[in-house]
Chains A and B, each alone.
Chain A
Amino acid sequence: MPQTLFEKIWSRHVIVEREDGTCLLSIDRHLCHEGSFHAFDKLERENRVIRRPDLTIGIADHYVSTKAPELGNEEHELRIPIEKLTANTKKAGIQLYGIGTPEQGIVHVTGPEQGLTLPGIILVCGDSHTATHGALGCLAFGIGASEVAHVLATQTLWQEKPKTMRINIDGELAAGVVAKDIILHLISVIGANGATGYMIEYAGSTVENLSVEGRMTMCNMSIEAGGRAGMIAPDEKTFNYLKDRKHSPKNENWDLAVTDWKTLFSDANAVFDKEVNIKASDIAPSLTWGNSPEEALPVTGKIPDPKNESDVSRREALEFTLQYMGLNPGTSLKDIEVDRVFIGSCTNSRIEDLRAAAAIARGRTTQVPAIVVPGSAMIKKQAEDEGLAKIFVDAGFDWRATGCSMCVGMNGDLTPPGERCASTSNRNFKGRQGPGSRTHLMSPAMAAAAAIMGRITDIRELEPVDL
């Protein structure tokens, strides 16, 4: 019987299947960050042993200062979760990529970069953006603290089998349109709960033509459509990406692995519970205007008018959103001025993202405070070696050390109340970047353009600079 990519991976990991279809799955890789202290505390309270510490890697990212990374954080209170991660991993015998290590970075950037993420595996992490890793053809999903504790104690998880959804995106992307625009467009089409209960597979020529990093940007935001996992069949690009990474298979294991990975695709007649088709030509450079990732429009769009909403509760919700965001109905998105810019996060902080932003920043000057936070220490170094860091600094951007930073604001990098931030991150929720913050999600090039112009800008209209 033809199988989907997901079914092939799922069936390899089933240890026990209950009558109701819920399965006990083996977990190949577990990544944990500072937030894991709840799980370690629970295990401690219950006097439990960590079963396979060798299959977990700890990485500090959420609370790490981007200004004083060598201290962990300059604020004592924010150092505590980092210190807990260090102590918990040390006690358990778990390898830690902590403060100051060359491997440190945002967990969803570091995993693939270090070859911890491999096709065909199940990878989990106590973070909803774990779907990112699915870009390499594995099943990766976020879990809560109780499930993190369960993984640490058993190296397994009980999971109900999700439904499957294939999202086919075909055709050539227009100039200026990148992976971030695809995923923002997609979420605006299927909705913030369009994929709830589903495992997404992204397929089609547009996806095949994306780089591995672009695929990560797409899979990363699967959760913003409600999908716990998003995946893409591995191909030659995936294998080339993984070759010679620190933890990638080596020598004869590499050959064995690639032979196996080539069997990981959805069979021709495999059946999905749902299929969605998207035309690449329908996608423009896009951004969000509201407080849900589904509230996205092409940059040429206008703020919607609550008067046109017939459903009373939706109209009230829209009015509330516009009030929170400080926006008026009918305003052109391009007329919206921004107060600051954040380029970073597990969605868009990889080297290609930084190159795209630097290409806009080059020879220009920022109008508003803007920070660039690379996704890992390795990317930071590479960007410095390539001269990207200098371009940013010369243009007035603040070049920072790695971490989750202003995507979630836990390390102290916040957007002040009432300020509007053009951000390459993944969530525009109320207060996400700090209490009262107003977030507009967009691609790295669009965010860089917003920093240069001081307002939302269509990168296609940006005049070239004479250098």
Chain B
Amino acid sequence: MEAFKKLDSTAASLQVANIDTDQIIPARFLKTPRSTNHGEFLFHDIRRNSSGELDPNFILNTPENKQTQILVADTNFGCGSSRESAVYALFDAGIRCVIAPSFGDIFYNNSIKNGLLPIELDRNEIEDIWQILKTANNTRIEVDLKNQTIHLPNGKNINFQIDPFRKQTLIEGLDDIDLTLKYRQLIEDHETSNAVERPWIATIS
């Protein structure tokens, strides 16, 4: 997994609540292998008009947001289906950080596993960021995971919370399977004692 580096990027506001993973990537693209660039699938149907052309008003279709790495979204971003392709699509489109008042739980976990940082802030802080992005001369935001700080274009800083283990995973680009396999003996011991206490679970009969 790619290690998460400090971001200094334009940020795009997506002021719509309950952006579900079906909107992030429609189901018909889910049969695509990971080796294919998923970036073109991102928000596929909601960033296009009825004739299939890119809608110039959609926030990620504007020239200044072509290279944006940061999305400032609304409540319950990534709710719905567990499809990890939603994170692949964001990542391959260059997005490295989504800031929102809340996230779908599965989406949040999937993000961490793919080097994408989800940041939860109070909704009033998000509203402030939207306002700043709308009125400031530039929309550059810095995201410093090590110090858990967001630097806004008006000079203001916001601190954010993240579980220390997830933070480490992101910064070092760790794959937790290797970490888990270090506990192999404990896993086997657990299975052995479980088979004695609850033999009907130990195998599929």
Contact = CB atoms under 8 A, between A and B. Distances in A.
Most buried by A among B46, B82, B165, B199: B82
A42 B66 CA distance: 30
Interface of B: 15-18, 20, 22-23, 26-28, 30-31, 33-34, 45-46, 50, 74-76, 79-85, 87, 102-106, 109-110, 113-114, 163-165, 175-177, 180-181, 183, 186-187, 190-191, 194, 198-201, 203-205
B45, B84, B105, B176, most chain A CB atoms within 10 A: B105
Nearest to A125: B82
B201 A28 contact: yes
A410 B106 contact: no
B75 A193 contact: yes
Interface string A64-83: 00000000000001101100
Contact of B187 (A15, A127, A294): A15
Contacts of A35: 30, 83
Contacts of B46: 430-431
Contact of B31 (A26, A63, A127): A63
A255 to B, nearest CB: 10
Which 4 pairs from chain A and chain B are nearest by CB?
A249-B200, A146-B113, A144-B110, A144-B84
Contacts of B191: 26, 155
A153 B204 CA distance: 18
Contact of B76 (A15, A18, A196, A431): A196
B105 A228 contact: yes
Contacts of B26: 431, 435
B173 to A, nearest CB: 13
Contacts of A408: 27, 81
Contacts of A150: 176-177, 180
Contact of B84 (A77, A145, A260, A410): A145
Given A128-B82, A429-B20, A435 B45 contact: yes
Given A154-B181, A193-B79, A247-B204, A120 B198 contact: yes
Interface string A411-439: 00000000000000001011110011000
A254 B75 CA distance: 46
A196 B18 CA distance: 12
B200 A29 contact: no
Contacts of A431: 22-23, 26, 45-46
7 contacts: A143-B109, A144-B113, A146-B84, A146-B113, A162-B105, A223-B106, A408-B27
Contacts of A37: 33
Contacts of A432: 22, 27
A253 B110 contact: no
Given A20-B164, A118-B200, A196-B76, A144 B82 contact: yes
A455 B76 CA distance: 32
B180 A147 contact: no
Contact of A313 (B15, B30, B177, B194): B15
B199 to A, nearest CB: 6
A20 B163 contact: yes
A144 B106 contact: yes
Contact of A409 (B16, B28, B76, B205): B28
A248 B45 CA distance: 44
Given A160-B163, A253-B200, A317-B17, A196 B102 contact: yes
B31 A429 contact: no
A143 B102 CA distance: 18
Contacts of B114: 146
B113 A147 contact: yes
Interface in A302-351: 313, 317, 320
B34 A410 contact: no
A15 B106 contact: no
A16 B187 CA distance: 9
Given A81-B31, A256-B200, A193 B84 contact: no
Contacts of B203: 54-55
A257 interface: yes
Given A144-B110, A430-B46, 16 more contacts: A12-B194, A26-B187, A41-B33, A78-B31, A81-B31, A127-B81, A142-B106, A144-B87, A145-B110, A228-B105, A248-B205, A249-B200, A250-B205, A260-B198, A410-B28, A429-B20
A17 B1 CA distance: 24
